[in-house]
């Protein structure tokens, strides 16, 4: 069986116009390519990306920190109630085949680093930190195109830091 590609979107949980616009566009592109969006299921970039995906007819999974599926933002089709707080970030990066990181602070940085640690590729839009090994993209269209290319033909393993 061929499963649809799963792309993770991580970024700040606070509202931020620039990041939200990028996230919404990323969500839309993910849906247009019939990929699945996985994110943390709450606010800020997570809401914007899920809204973009849903408005383009896509599918959204939210890996929630709390134990109640009703915490999910309204654009999440499939809420997962982990009850594991910050540790749920590990589930987002393990479930996604590639990560797109949009702006974000320390929480996003920890997800980026965890993804790189387990060998997942990370594509950054509006990066806040310079982390060797993170790929950059000009905009949402390029980020999602790159993400799908990496899922279809994974590069050979790189040396880890």
Binding site for a copy of itself (CB under 8 A): 1, 3, 6, 36, 59, 61, 63, 67-69, 74, 77-87, 89-91, 94-95, 97, 105-107, 109-114, 116-118, 128-131, 133, 160-161
| CA angle, 43 then 60 then 75, to 5° | 50
User: With respect to a copy of itself, which residue has the nearer C-beta, 8 or 26?
Assistant: 8
Residues 6+ apart with CB under 8 A from 65: 40, 42, 71, 82, 83, 84, 85, 86, 88
Least distance in angstroms from the C-beta of 86 to a copy of itself: 5
- Cβ 102 vs Cβ 19: under 8 Å: yes
- Cβ 112 vs Cβ 124: under 8 Å: yes
User: With respect to a copy of itself, which residue has the nearer C-beta, 28 or 54?
Assistant: 54
Least distance in angstroms from the C-beta of 79 to a copy of itself: 7
Structure tokens at 100: 């797109």
**Which of 160, 10, 15 is CA-nearest to residue 99?**
10
User: With respect to a copy of itself, which residue has the nearer C-beta, 10 or 22?
Assistant: 10
User: With respect to a copy of itself, which residue has the nearer C-beta, 126 or 128?
Assistant: 128
Least distance in angstroms from the C-beta of 110 to a copy of itself: 4
Least distance in angstroms from the C-beta of 141 to a copy of itself: 25
């Amino acid at each position: 069986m061929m499963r649809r590609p799963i792309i993770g979107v991580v970024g700040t949980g606070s509202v931020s116009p620039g990041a939200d616009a990028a996230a919404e566009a990323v969500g839309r592109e993910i849906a247009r390519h019939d990929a699945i969006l996985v994110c943390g299921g709450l606010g800020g970039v997570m809401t914007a990306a899920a809204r973009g995906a849903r408005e383009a007819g896509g599918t959204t999974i939210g890996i929630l920190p709390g134990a109640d599926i009703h915490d999910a933002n309204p654009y999440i089709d499939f809420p997962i109630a982990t009850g594991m707080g910050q540790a749920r970030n590990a589930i987002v990066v393990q479930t996604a085949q590639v990560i797109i990181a949009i702006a974000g602070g320390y929480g996003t940085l920890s997800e980026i680093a965890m993804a790189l640690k387990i060998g997942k590729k990370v594509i950054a839009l509006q990066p806040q930190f310079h982390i060797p090994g993170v790929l950059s993209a000009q905009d949402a269209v390029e980020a999602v195109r790159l993400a799908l290319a990496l899922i279809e033909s994974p590069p050979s393993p790189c040396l880890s830091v």
